[in-house]
Amino acid sequence: MSDIKLNASVRSDEGKGASRRLRRNGRVPGIIYGGKAEPQSVSVLARELWKALESEAFFSSVLNLDVDGKKEQVILRDLQRHPSQQIIYHLDFQRVSANTKVHIKVPLHFLNEETCKGVKAGGIVSHTLTELEISAPASKLPEFIEVDLADLDMDGVLHISDVKLPQGVESVDLTHGEDHDLVVASVHKPRGAIEAEAEGEEAEGESGEE
């Protein structure tokens, strides 16, 4: 379980007007739901939230939420923010326990990208996926998943099924069948090299015709 902590306060005022007032006072409205308890409206300090958001793990970990002294373990389910300004409109938290089965997206961290076989042969790495939707008990949620590209050759392709997942963690895509075994990363020749090869082959063909 994560050690990320965030303080929150219970709020009783509802509606858009109340939410605007909270934001003007440097707080972000939110809600906690799930588990056996009733949904609870809360707010958090915007400056504390922005600091917490600097951690990549905030989006894919169990959070320790202190609501006026009451401890809640939650995951972030939704975060609504302004498309261009540094404003967060609303937060949705879901209560979880250690054994709660959670579906969540976690970031992929690529290892040995600059030294993999395909790059050494002159290729470049293309990332098709940068995060993976997983299912796991809350107590086993990884903050990220490592993807080792060391053995990826030129024109090689790495699929979800090639990624080694931690114990107790499974890919949601793979549960839907082999057709959902998506490409994670691949190595290919740079466009300039491909065009040069094509021009060379064309020149050889014209020379042969003569």
pLDDT digits (tens, 9 = 90+) for 79-125: 999 999 889 999 999 999 988 999 999 999 999 999 999 999 999 99
> Within 13 Å and on the Cβ side, how many CA atoms surround 72?
28
Instruction: Using alpha carbons only, give the angle 173, 114, 199 rounded to the nearest 5 degrees.
Output: 95
> What's the predicted TM-score (pTM) here?
0.82
For residues 84 and 146, membership in a common domain is answered with no
Q: What is the largest CA-CA distance in the chain?
A: 87
The last residue of a domain, from among 96, 126, 141: 96
For residues 56 and 117, membership in a common domain is answered with no
pLDDT for res 159: 98
CB 32 within 8 A of CB 93: yes
pLDDT for res 16: 83
pLDDT for res 70: 95
For residues 188 and 160, membership in a common domain is answered with yes
User: What backbone torsions phi and psi does residue 11 show, to the nearest 5 degrees?
Assistant: -125, 145
The last residue of a domain, from among 72, 96, 120: 96
pLDDT for res 198: 47
User: What backbone torsions phi and psi does residue 77 show, to the nearest 5 degrees?
Assistant: -100, -30
Beta strands in 48-112, from DSSP E residues, in sequence order: 63-67, 70-81, 88-95, 101-111
d(CA 37, CA 32): 9
For residues 117 and 85, membership in a common domain is answered with no
Query: Domain range for residue 129?
Result: 102-194
pLDDT for res 190: 87
CB 127 within 8 A of CB 183: no
Q: Does 203 map to a domain?
A: no
For residues 92 and 11, membership in a common domain is answered with yes
| Residue 76, both tokens | 């972030």
Q: Does 88 map to a domain?
A: yes
For residues 34 and 107, membership in a common domain is answered with no
Mean pLDDT in runs of 10 for the chain (210 residues)? 86 84 93 93 96 93 95 95 91 94 95 96 95 95 95 96 96 95 95 54 53
For residues 41 and 57, membership in a common domain is answered with yes
Q: Does 199 map to a domain?
A: no
Q: Does 108 map to a domain?
A: yes
CB 173 within 8 A of CB 182: yes
Residues in the chain: 210
For residues 135 and 57, membership in a common domain is answered with no
Which residues, in sequence order, are CB contacts of 158 under 8 Å at separation 6+? Answer: 147, 149, 152, 183, 184, 185, 186
The secondary structure element, H or E, covering residue 126 is strand 124-127
User: What backbone torsions phi and psi does residue 45 show, to the nearest 5 degrees?
Assistant: -65, 130
pLDDT for res 162: 97
